[in-house]
Amino acid sequence: MRPLMAWPAICLIATMLAAGCRHPVPAHAAVAPPRPTQYQLRLGRSVFAAYCVPCHGDAGAGDGSNSFNLDPHPRDLADPAFQKAKTNADLADAIRRGGAGVGLSSLMQPWGHTLNDRQIGAVVVYVRSLKR
Ligand code: HEC
């Protein structure tokens, strides 16, 4: 092959290499939590219904059947200001370690022995879905 004829091939390879490098990685990829799946939402809803509704209420408003026994009352988990103030890690921490573990009321028991990480992750996703 004469040197001149090699140029188109070299150009083609160079273009392919350059294109390969240009796959943009979104800047938020590392921090944005993955979108919750329907499975997580369903699992979270059933965990919440089984363990949390008696105190926190169906919609997380803090008006469950047992809430009047509690002082302080469970707070409104659906409140947008509360939702904004807390990260998923904060919520998971409070659920896993209980109120006493994070400086809140010990009437909120730790769930880390009852629920596994998958269930805690799912119930956090569900609590997020309660936001008004
Ligand atoms: C026995 C009643 C009771 C049950 C059952 C209960 N909680 Fe709580 N929870 C509370 C109370 C009371 C507080 C508020 C504590 C405080 O403000 O000092 C609380 C606080 C919380 C918080 C933290 C709110 C904050 O201010 O950061 C989260 C999140 C939470 N509960 C989620 C859950 C989830 C999820 C479940 C079910 C797995 C659950 N709770 C079950 C009573 C309960």
Average pLDDT over residues 108-126: 97
Note whether 97 and 112 are within 8 A (CB). Answer: yes
23-68 pLDDT, tens digit per residue, is 666 665 566 667 889 999 999 999 999 999 999 999 999 999 999 9
Residue percentage of the chain with pLDDT more than 70:
75
pLDDT score of 1 more than 70: no
Note whether 94 and 123 are within 8 A (CB). Answer: no
Q: Is residue 78 part of a domain?
A: yes
- Interval between CA 105 and ligand 1 midpoint (Å): 8
Please report where in the chains the tokens 């799912």 appear, as a residue. Answer: 122
61-72 pLDDT, tens digit per residue, is 999 999 999 999
Q: Is residue 10 part of a domain?
A: no
Q: Is residue 21 part of a domain?
A: no
Atom of ligand 1 lying closest to residue 48 CA: 37
Handedness of CA 88, 82, 55, 47 (dihedral sign): negative
CATH of the domain at 122: 1.10.760.10
Q: How many structural domains comprise the chain?
A: 1
pLDDT at position 13 is 55
Domain of residue 46: give its range: 37-128
pLDDT at position 35 is 85
Pocket of ligand 1, beta carbon within 6 A: 51-52, 54-56, 66, 70, 72, 74-75, 86, 91, 94-95, 99, 104-105, 107-108, 111, 123, 127
